[in-house]
A and B are shown apart, each in its own frame.
Chain A
């Protein structure tokens, strides 16, 4: 596997042990492009610049050929047919198109939508908007392990339910929902099942037929492809799903998504899918190995460290840990040559800690102390070891600085303290 990432747009320096710094370990936010993807895209900027909708000259045909190859590659990765793949600008658009498109198309049938509280904002905020237009939305809670309870789902379904939208893999804690079972429950009741599979496609096996998926959002830049391009899978058979467009215009993508196609981006998405089809089994094994190594190295040396979400059903590259008595942003400051994310309020625009962790029943204090490690294709074992050392050292240093750690060591029950409000 190539670790030769050609362009990291940050000033690089080299650690004493030869590791290039900064280390990128935030692959749920975005992934670096695979050089093979870039190579495949490049001709489509200059030589093959045509509009894929130009049917009467070779420039258009060349572009169209690139697009159709990409469509085949995406379809192959997820077990779909080419006519079921619609290109979009990314997963946020795909989520909007899926949810609003189904809601509009099936409004005569019903007005009830079911989703979960740990969904991405692209789903939650879309559902909230539909509520303003008279739709009824049920937000399912999740269990402590981050998974929805299928009995809760069953109970929420009624004869007005037209859509269930539950993500495949969570972007913060990486847990994999039981999509096949959710899809089955939906299929039995004639309800459409949409899944936001942004984090899952290319990382874990996806088969829209085996997993009973009707509509699925896909993003390129989470799987080593370019930003600004994604796709929506829309089932055509057993059952045929129809969606109303949210963008009107030239009738591209069988009328579901007008707008001139982003040909280089689409070619890149296709190549990213082709690589994933080939390399996923090996890569997921490699990533899970690195992830477990990171977990063991950290947890072997620190006490009061908690993993958020189930380890059993989880993306291979995800580790989300809370370090008790240490605030997340200060931890990020201490490991500033490592790119990761925190669920701390201090790192968010809203000054609220992660709503996903809160939904698991994680206390606000531990939500503030959480770090998300997102391992990816280009991370190495040496990087994992370096990250583990830096994290352990910084947590130890910050705990020495933490009045909470001191109080806990003195045997004070922090829950019983009456904290003075700010």
Chain B
């Protein structure tokens, strides 16, 4: 398997690695995937309660290089967006940005799921009405 330069870059220098306090009111945590499947992503967002802007994002991923790159990229993209804007991020955009081959598309799907799960968690915690259901959108 050969990797694109962008995947290699995110793998070697992953952005926003780390963890935030998941009990904190302004932190949303998404944990998706399963160890048996070879991919688990944890993506966390810190949201400004006034503006709904995602001020910080962190991730940790167990998975292949493409899974690490997809989640690293996802943290970069959600930062600075409002939660509603972040919900518009599509896995296909991740595929395009990282030039993922067809067998790695599931990595991008998982990253999109992780974003949604983190936002869903934050909304639930803060009693924000879910405008977009976390998992209703069809994936590619």
Q: What is the interface of chain A, defined by CB distance below 8 A to chain B? A: 325-327, 329-330, 333-334, 344-347, 351, 353, 363-365, 368, 400-406, 414, 419-422
* CB under 8 Å from chain A, chain B span 46-88: 60-65, 67-68
* B34 to A: closest C-beta gap in Å: 4
A347 CA / B34 CA spacing, docked (Å):
18
Contacting pair A404 B1 (CB below 8 A): no
| 6 A-B pairs whose Cβ atoms sit less than 8 Å apart in the complex | A346-B64, A401-B68, A402-B60, A402-B61, A419-B40, A422-B109
A333 CA / B64 CA spacing, docked (Å):
8
Query: In the assembled complex, which residues on chain B have CB atoms less than 8 Å from the CB atom of A344?
Result: 38, 64
Contacting pair A404 B64 (CB below 8 A): no
* A325-B32 contact given A422-B37, A422-B110, CB 8 Å threshold: no
A334 CA / B33 CA spacing, docked (Å):
22
Q: Which residue of A lies closest to B33 (CB)?
A: A422
- Asked if B126 CB lies within 8 Å of chain A CBs, one says no
Query: In the assembled complex, which residues on chain A have CB atoms less than 8 Å from the CB atom of B109?
Result: 422
Of B19, B32, B37, B63, which contacts A406 at CB under 8 A?
B19
Number of interface residues of B (CB under 8 A): 33
Task: Decide if the interface of chain A is mainly helix, strand, loop or mixed.
Answer: helix
- Summed over the interface, the residue pairs from A and B with CB atoms below 8 Å come to a total of 92
* A254 to B: closest C-beta gap in Å: 45
Of B19, B35, B37, which contacts A404 at CB under 8 A?
B35
Nearest 5 CB-CB pairings of A with B = A419-B34, A365-B35, A403-B42, A364-B36, A403-B60
A353 CA / B35 CA spacing, docked (Å):
12
Contacting pair A422 B106 (CB below 8 A): yes
- Asked if B118 CB lies within 8 Å of chain A CBs, one says no
Contacting pair B103 A404 (CB below 8 A): no
Contacting pair B17 A327 (CB below 8 A): no
* A78 to B: closest C-beta gap in Å: 38
Contacting pair A368 B61 (CB below 8 A): no
* A206 to B: closest C-beta gap in Å: 36
Of A329, A345, A406, A419, which contacts B33 at CB under 8 A?
A419
Q: Which residue of B lies closest to A344 (CB)?
A: B38
- Asked if B39 CB lies within 8 Å of chain A CBs, one says yes
* A330-B39 contact given A401-B60, A402-B60, A422-B33, CB 8 Å threshold: no
Query: In the assembled complex, which residues on chain A have CB atoms less than 8 Å from the CB atom of B8?
Result: 333
* A324 to B: closest C-beta gap in Å: 9
